[in-house]
Chain A
Amino acid sequence: DSGVTQTPKHLITATGQRVTLRCSPRSGDLSVYWYQQSLDQGLQFLIQYYNGEERAKGNILERFSAQQFPDLHSELNLSSLELGDSALYFCASSVAGGLGEQETQYFGPGTRLLVL
């Protein structure tokens, strides 16, 4: 158990719908990262938040958005869903502070999204 939690574990929805994925980082971690894993694209970085602010953006579609709340949990919103959005969505969190030698990214269990 990495200490990172994600809900829900599974999500089945229809094209055109909107869903929200939730992530709670490890206690004390300020950074949250979202990744998408599909068979054809591998593990792709979507977006990073650090202490409530957007820090970096990857290949995230305009239909997708995210935020990090004051309690540091994060939500990834996916709208106007398409079949191709079916994938595993992982969040990860990392310890922050002083470019520490201990810093690394720990992954949550993921949310499996199936768009029908």
Chain B
Amino acid sequence: GENVEQHPSTLSVQEGDSAVIKCTYSDSASNYFPWYKQELGKRPQLIIDIRSNVGEKKDQRIAVTLNKTAKHFSLHITETQPEDSAVYFCAASKDRGSTLGRLYFGRGTQLTVWP
């Protein structure tokens, strides 16, 4: 099965700085890579995703890059704000017939943004 590794496990940055979280995956058949933000006790919330036919995707202060050859993808948050503080999870999946397959999650990164 798929194995997703995520680094770092904790990340502290000053408000306004950038934050980068990196993930690697093992199954070259994986073709869908979402990122979720989870605040304490809340549900994982999708913040951005990328499919394997695209190398980079951006949404305001958040961007994701994908390197299929190296089997790694990264989340970039610019101009961080205290409300960005949360646990971020990367995941990998592949389509199964007519629907999306299960998500394989990384272990999460606790991001803390200091004012």
Name A residues whose Cβ lies closer than 8 Å to a Cβ of B.
Answer: 2, 30-31, 33, 35, 42-45, 48, 50, 55-56, 58, 90, 92, 94, 96-99, 101, 103-110, 112
Contacts and interface: CB of A to CB of B under 8 A. Distances in A.
Contacts of B42: 109-110
What secondary structure prevails in chain B residues at the interface with A? strand
Contacts of B46: 104-106
A99 B43 contact: no
Interface footprint category on B: 20 to 34
A42 B107 contact: yes
A103 B107 contact: no
Nearest to B54: A101
B25 interface: no
A106 B32 CA distance: 14
User: Which of A94, A99, A105: most chain B CB closer than 10 A?
Assistant: A105
